[in-house]
Amino acid sequence: MARGVTRMSGLFLRTLREDPADAEVISHKLLVRAGYVRRVAPGIYSWLPLGMKVLRRVEAVIREEMDAIGGQEVHFPALLPREPYEATGRWTEYGDTLFRLKDRKKADYLLGPTHEELFTLMVKGETSSYRDFPITLYQVQTKYRDEERPRAGILRGREFTMKDSYSFDLSDEGLAESYARHREAYQRIFARLGLEVQIVSAMSGAMGGSASEEFLAPCEAGEDTYVRCPATGFAANVEAVTTPAPPEQSIADKPEAVVYDTPDTPTIETLVAHVNGLGLGREFTAADTLKNVMVKTRLPGAAEWTLLGVGVPGDREVDMKRLEAAVAPAEVALLEDADFAAHPFLTKGYIGPVGLAKNGVRYLVDPRIVTGTAWVTGADEHGRHVVDLVAGRDFTPDGTIEAAEVRAGDPSPDGGGSLVAARGIEMGHIFQLGRKYAEALGLTALGADGKPVTVTMGSYGVGVTRAVAAITEQHADAKGLVWPAEVAPYAVHVVIAGKDPAQAEAADRIATGLADAGLEVLLDDRKASPGVKFADAELLGMPTTLTVGRGLANGVVEVTDRASGERREVPVDDVVAELA
Ligand code: ATP
Ligand code: MG
Ligand code: MG
Ligand code: MG
């Protein structure tokens, strides 16, 4: 049999009829059922032959486009010494996400979550003058992040493949050009991968600016929420955009109250039960991270209710352990932001699924998750709740409320209309880093005038393994995977439907012809029923299925397009020329 034809009878593959028990999203279910990946531990996966082929094709597209913008491929180890990350502060900043380990001499190492430090040091070692710049380097490499909730299979791994590239320029204009080239390369990459993406601003204050942008693949399974203005094209991650402070609210004209009652001092269990009772769309457990939590409780011996706003500066998540600490009176002082009750906006005011900022620190609170007693006295024009917690005082936004997170229906910050919201998977992220890393690690070059210039950098990432899952999310259907041509493991899946030796012979001939024409062909020559073979062909997802069955007696074979389901009969003698 010719090169380019793989016989299924010999393929290392076993398909499964049942979805894996831990799978929530379609890509996880299908990639496991179709035998592309297998789970080893949470967020850690092995790749089987079909999965490897897709992964290699995705990598090839990325390499071609990176090479096309002048990127040069290098490779760094995943196992890295502590010192460079110490120099930039990231050894500590990364927190629990960083996998840290020690060697036999008790020296500290880490498994690289991203490689800015190492690239900076490499360029520092290999360059000296302005003549050596600009430079763009990239790698396709395994990254490690101890994600808090590895979920959705390879969509969020703890070990995953990323293409990361870094640009090194001497001027701001140079950096802007490098950034623009990457932006275009990313658009070409995602188009070739068959991924629909929305480019969104990823940094606040960068209205229409380009200091950082994300490429989000619109999809329900995505963990990012973005807003978009159909009228103007404005698009931003909700984390990145703020609306002006809300207008002054009058509580007097708000309608009837809603009262939430829980025991005096809530325990973690009553909190969880309460939160679940609010019907937020899923069941929480005590181990969960709750976003935007506000707690009101009565401390022992105190006559008054005390409001404990719970938040983490610069972070939107509050973990239950901290929350528990917060509601245990003796430990309130441990909470960095325990003086929340002193802030006017927390004693009375405008709260909701909004961000509140004071002195550059953002606090997020959500009245849907309130324990103790709270009176939801009404909603503003955006559907946000106004909560009256200390009776008798008027709410005045007094400057403590600087901005609120945007929501669907809000006016677009560029004034062009109202926003719509959607979810997306972060596929790529491009970032003008500037001189931060070069300064921390001493990367300079001698300028034409003989004076040293600090290098300015950009960093650019694409989730390679994540792309395989995201393509699945956007293309798969109820029957299985559906691969776009550019990444499909095989272009044509030839099925021998019956037992007639003439069918096997014709299928062999066609498969060889297609392979000779340069296509990769999967030939189902197994001794299985036609039903099993067709179901597997749909599950495995090659773009075209060619069935050699009863029609052969009349000189025809059947060609099925996986994506549209469209079938047609083609004369057996024409089929190679037609598909090749
Ligand atoms: P996320 O917001 O999804 O956690 P991130 O912003 O932390 O991603 P970056 O540091 O910007 O990720 O990394 C660049 C790219 O690497 C991301 O755009 C994404 O495609 C991919 N990526 C990041 N984390 C993971 C992961 N845990 N599993 C798979 N791919 C990932
Ligand atoms: Mg992350
Ligand atoms: Mg992100
Ligand atoms: Mg990112």
SS3 sequence of 225-265: EEEECCCCCCEEECCCCEEECCCCCCCCCCCCCCECCCCCC
Q: Give dist(CA 196, CA 215) in Å, integer.
A: 9
> 542 CA to middle of ligand 3, Å?
31
Edge to edge, the sheet with strand 349-350 lists 349-350, 385-388, 375-379
Mean pLDDT, contiguous 10-residue spans, the chain (580 residues) = 85 95 92 97 97 98 98 98 93 94 97 96 97 98 93 93 98 96 98 97 56 94 90 86 46 27 48 55 54 42 42 35 41 30 32 27 31 32 40 26 56 80 95 92 95 96 98 96 98 97 97 97 96 97 98 97 97 96
At a CB cut-off of 8 Å and minimum separation 6, what does 94 contact?
85, 113
The stretches of 291-417 forming alpha helices (DSSP H) are: 320-327, 344-347
Phi, psi of 93 (to 5 degrees): -55, -35
Is there a contact between 470 and 195 (Cβ–Cβ < 8 Å)? yes
Residues in the chain: 580
Q: Give dist(CA 522, CA 491) in Å, integer.
A: 8
Atom of ligand 1 nearest to the CA of 156: 28
Q: Side chain identity at 194, as an amino acid letter?
A: G
Instruction: Tell me how far CA of residue 294 lies from CA of 291, 370, 398, in angstroms.
Output: 9, 6, 21
Determine the pLDDT at residue 267.
53
Q: Is 239 in the pocket of ligand 1 (CB under 6 A)?
A: no
> 138 CA to middle of ligand 2, Å?
20
Q: Side chain identity at 27, as an amino acid letter?
A: S
Q: Give dist(CA 366, CA 351) in Å, integer.
A: 7
Q: Which two tokens stand for residue 343?
A: 């802030």
Q: Is 428 in the pocket of ligand 1 (CB under 6 A)?
A: yes
Atom of ligand 1 nearest to the CA of 214: 18
The stretches of 523-563 forming alpha helices (DSSP H) are: 530-540
Q: Is 156 in the pocket of ligand 1 (CB under 6 A)?
A: yes
Q: Side chain identity at 198, as an amino acid letter?
A: Q
Q: Is 213 in the pocket of ligand 1 (CB under 6 A)?
A: no
Q: Can you say how many angstroms the Cα of residue 414 is from the centroid of all Cα atoms in its chain?
A: 26
Determine the pLDDT at residue 207.
39
Q: Give dist(CA 186, CA 192) in Å, integer.
A: 10
375-379 and 385-388: which strand pairing?
antiparallel
Q: Is 466 in the pocket of ligand 1 (CB under 6 A)?
A: yes
Is there a contact between 424 and 415 (Cβ–Cβ < 8 Å)? no
Beta pairing partners, 161? 142
Determine the pLDDT at residue 385.
36
Q: Closest Cα to residue 389, out of 403, 377, 380, 400?
A: 377
DSSP character at residue 199: E
Q: Give dist(CA 243, CA 229) in Å, integer.
A: 14
Atom of ligand 1 nearest to the CA of 147: 27
At a CB cut-off of 8 Å and minimum separation 6, what does 213 contact?
183, 199, 200, 201, 202, 429, 430
Using DSSP, state whether 162 is helix, strand or coil.
Answer: strand
Q: Is 424 in the pocket of ligand 1 (CB under 6 A)?
A: no
Place of tokens 């969880």: 272
Edge to edge, the sheet with strand 99-102 lists 79-81, 108-111, 99-102
- Give the ligand at the shortest distance from the Cα of 149: 1
Q: Give dist(CA 432, CA 175) in Å, integer.
A: 7
Is there a contact between 26 and 473 (Cβ–Cβ < 8 Å)? yes
Tell me: ipTM over 0.95: yes
Give the residue, by CA position, lying nearest to ligand 1 atom 21: 463
